[in-house]
């Protein structure tokens, strides 16, 4: 795919798809502006080139209807503050008024469009909607890795009709970080996979067996693997329909000589509650009807030692219910081991990025991805539609 640096954008209308789907409070105040900050280097570059910059994003799920609680107006204000430069705002993303505002842009001016998802043509990847967006620009730049696994108008539709298309700095960095850490890593490569369900990570697990030296399993998904090996998981969350599949993955790992690591001990509770009674038990000694909600201390220590030997680390998914303090320690120990390692370490976005932040290690790992779904899409060995559209 072409980089934006491969194109002449001087004085051209440049449509930049960003991911400004930021969290806001009840008063529409932005509570975390990291996604906006992640786009600033590209915006500064385009300003240096005297481009006419058109910024577009979605926010929330307005379901194809205009809903001002999902307006990007507060984001426009915050971007103006960060840039110390006025950013113009259009109250729609298509239509005559938007065309007029784009036509009146001077070199080095910035216009932010209203929420793309106020139109159902965005999620439906409607050709007419895509053409109308593409008609606003001379150059299309995708800088939104977090939505590049989606086949939508502003991701895959516009490149079909825009005169030129390229990748922005953030998209390039994300894709390069993935390939450097998974498909062309310095060995040994250790992958830590957690989260709730095997089903959500099944394709990623099978694909990662091609590359990893060690595969560390945590979270509720570990329960399904434990039960597939004959361990009574009592009241723990499992996926009965995937027991045979889980057993097959363990077998395949042995055939490939991958060190497939499952919990030795667990932190269990009599119910799913932050105030529940808890016990630390061996994996095969869960009390009757109790449930496993975190890896135990012996497991956390074993995992930390395995991480210490790595040259490359990929982490996707917490080790337990890290949102509750009683079940956070396993995730914390693993996170700190990753942070202490000199290996190249990449952390998947979404819950994993949130866990890294909660464990105060986000600034101590090599890279934290901005997109959980897109990162998992790559881990499954699939190409991102947003990247393919630029090729």
Question: What does the alpha-carbon distance between residue 83 and residue 100 come to, in Å, rounded to a whole number?
Answer: 24
Q: What is the pLDDT of residues 24-40, one digit of tens each?
A: 998 889 998 989 999 99
pLDDT at position 52 is 98
Is 197 tagged catalytic?
A: yes
Q: Which of 60, 64, 373, 381 is catalytic?
A: 373
What do you get for the CA distance between the two ends of the chain, in Å?
5
Summary mean pLDDT of the chain: 96
Q: Which of 330, 348, 350, 371 is catalytic?
A: 350
Q: What is the pLDDT of residues 68-81, one digit of tens each?
A: 999 999 999 999 99
CATH 3.40.50.1360, applies to 4-167: no
**Encoded tokens for 360:** 């105060």
Dmax (CA) of the chain: 71
Is 371 tagged catalytic?
A: no
Those residues whose C-beta lies under 8 Å from the C-beta of residue 391, and which sit 6 or more positions away, are: 1
Average pLDDT over residues 341-347: 95
SS3 346: strand
Q: How many residues does the chain have?
A: 391
Average pLDDT over residues 299-315: 97
**Each residue of 314-330: b (16+ CB within 10 Å) or e?**
bbbbbbbbbebebbbbb
So what's the architecture of 174-379 in CATH?
3-Layer(aba) Sandwich (3.40)
Sequence spans of domains, the chain: 4-167, 174-379
Question: What does the alpha-carbon distance between residue 111 and residue 98 come to, in Å, rounded to a whole number?
Answer: 9
Q: Evaluate if pTM is beyond 0.75.
A: yes
Integer-rounded Cα Rg, in Å, for the chain is: 23
**Each residue of 193-206: b (16+ CB within 10 Å) or e?**
bbbbbbeebbebbe
DSSP class of residue 218 equals -
Q: Which of 35, 117, 123, 150 is catalytic?
A: 35
Give the pairing of strands 52-56 and 139-142: unpaired
- Model confidence at 299, in pLDDT bands (50, 70, 90)? very high
DSSP class of residue 222 equals H
Q: Which of 197, 311, 357, 382 is catalytic?
A: 197
């Amino acid at each position: 795919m072409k980089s934006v640096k491969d194109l002449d954008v001087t004085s051209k209308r440049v449509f930049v798809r960003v991911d400004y789907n930021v969290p806001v409070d009840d008063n529409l105040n932005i509570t975390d502006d990291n996604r906006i900050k992640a786009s600033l280097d590209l915006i500064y570059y385009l300003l240096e080139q005297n481009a006419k910059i058109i910024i577009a994003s979605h926010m929330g799920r307005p379901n194809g209807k205009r809903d001002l609680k999902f307006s990007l107006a507060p984001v426009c204000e915050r971007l103006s503050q960060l840039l110390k430069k006025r950013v113009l705002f259009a109250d729609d993303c298509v239509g005559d008024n938007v065309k007029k505002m784009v036509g009146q842009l001077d070199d080095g001016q910035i216009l932010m469009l209203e929420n793309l998802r106020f139109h159902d043509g965005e999620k439906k990847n409607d050709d007419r909607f895509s053409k109308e967006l593409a008609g606003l620009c001379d150059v299309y730049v995708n800088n939104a890795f977090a939505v590049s696994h989606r086949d939508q108008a502003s991701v895959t539709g516009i490149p079909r009709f825009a005169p030129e298309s390229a990748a922005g700095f953030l998209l390039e960095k994300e894709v390069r970080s993935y390939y450097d850490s998974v498909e062309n890593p310095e060995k040994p490569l250790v992958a830590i996979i957690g989260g709730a369900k095997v089903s959500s990570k099944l394709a990623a697990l099978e694909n990662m067996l091609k590359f990893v030296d060690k595969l560390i399993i945590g979270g509720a998904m570990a329960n399904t693997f434990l039960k597939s090996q004959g361990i009574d998981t009592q009241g723990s969350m499992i996926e009965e329909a995937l027991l045979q599949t889980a057993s097959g993955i363990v077998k395949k790992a042995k055939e490939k000589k991958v060190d497939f690591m499952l919990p030795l001990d667990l932190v269990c509770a009599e119910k799913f509650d932050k105030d529940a009674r808890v016990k630390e038990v061996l994996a095969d000694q869960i009390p009757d009807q109790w449930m496993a909600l975190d890896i135990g201390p012996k497991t956390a220590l074993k995992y930390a030692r395995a991480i210490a030997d790595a040259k490359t680390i990929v982490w996707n998914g917490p080790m337990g219910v890290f949102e509750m303090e009683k079940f956070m320690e396993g995730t914390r120990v693993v996170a700190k081991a990753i942070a202490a390692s000199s290996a190249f370490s990449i952390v998947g976005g979404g819950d994993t990025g949130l866990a890294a932040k909660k464990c105060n290690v986000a600034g101590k790992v090599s890279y934290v991805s901005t997109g959980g779904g897109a990162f998992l899409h790559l881990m499954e060995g699939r190409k991102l539609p947003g990247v393919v559209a630029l090729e």
